[in-house]
Amino acid sequence: MSMSELTTIARPYAKAAFEFAVDKGTVESWNEMLFFAGEVAKNEQIAQFLSGSASAEKQSEIIISVCAEQLNENGQNLVKVMAENGRLTALPAVAELFAEFKADYDKLIDVDVVSATTLTAEQQASLVAALEKRFARKVKLNCSVDETIVGGLVIKAGDTVIDGTVRGKLNRLATTLQS
C-alpha cells in the first residue's frame, strides 16, 4: 500500500482522535500516545504480524500489550476499532497526521471580539472554548466594546466574520423581507 493510500485510510481516525483530544483538553498526551503506538506498529516483526492473517482481537491485543501503560483506555479503544476494520497498518500514518493537526492547533489564532458591553471572564472562557472547537486552533481573544452594536457580538478571525449582533440580525431580516 502506498503512503498516500495509508494517509487516506488514516485521516478519519486521526481526525476523530484529534477532535476527541481537543474536546477533552488532552492533545499533548494523545500526541505522545499515538507517536508511541505508531513506533510500535512500525517495528518490523509487529508490521509483519499486522499484515498477516491474525484476528482483529489478536492484533489489537498485541499492540495494546506492547504499548502497555503508554496507551490509556481511549487509546486502546482506537486500536480496537482500527483492528476491527483491518486498519492497524495505518497506525504510523494516524500518528503523523495527528502530529500535523496538533502543529496547526498550536498556532495561535487571534480573534477580535466586539461586544456591546464588557465580557465577563466566564463569558470569555466559554467563547474561547467554543471558538477553539470551531477553528480547531488555540484562540487568543482581543476584546473591545462598541455600545452602538446594541447586543450580541461581532467575531473576526482571519477571513471569517461572525456577526451575532442584534443589529446584524435585524439587517439580515430586512434584506430577507425585501428579496
Q: How do the pLDDT tens digits run along the chain, 179 residues long?
A: 777 898 999 999 999 999 999 989 999 999 999 999 999 999 999 999 999 999 999 999 999 999 999 999 999 999 999 999 999 999 999 999 999 999 999 999 999 999 989 999 999 999 999 998 888 888 999 999 998 887 888 999 988 888 888 777 778 888 888 87
The pTM of the full predicted model, rounded to 2 decimals, is 0.72
- First-to-last CA distance in the chain? 54
pLDDT of residue 94: 98
For 3, list phi and psi in degrees, rounded to 5: -60, -40
Task: For strands 139-145 and 153-157, give the pairing.
Answer: unpaired
Give ranges for CATH 1.10.520.20 in the chain: 3-104
The candidate with the shortest Cα–Cα distance to 105, out of 10, 28, 8, 13, is 28
Task: Please provide the DSSP assignment of 14-32 as one string.
Answer: HHHHHHHHHHHT-HHHHHH
Within 10 angstroms of residue 132's Cβ, the number of other Cβ atoms is: 18
Contact predicate 120/42, CB 8 Å = no
pLDDT of residue 80: 97
Cα distances from 47 to residues 27, 72, 89, in angstroms, run 26, 22, 7
pLDDT of residue 36: 97
pLDDT of residue 134: 85
Among 1.10.520.20, 3.40.50.300, 1.10.3210.50, 1.10.3720.10, name the CATH number for the domain at 3-104. Answer: 1.10.520.20
CATH no. for 107-178: 3.30.2320.30
Task: For strands 109-115 and 160-163, give the pairing.
Answer: unpaired
Give ranges for CATH 3.30.2320.30 in the chain: 107-178
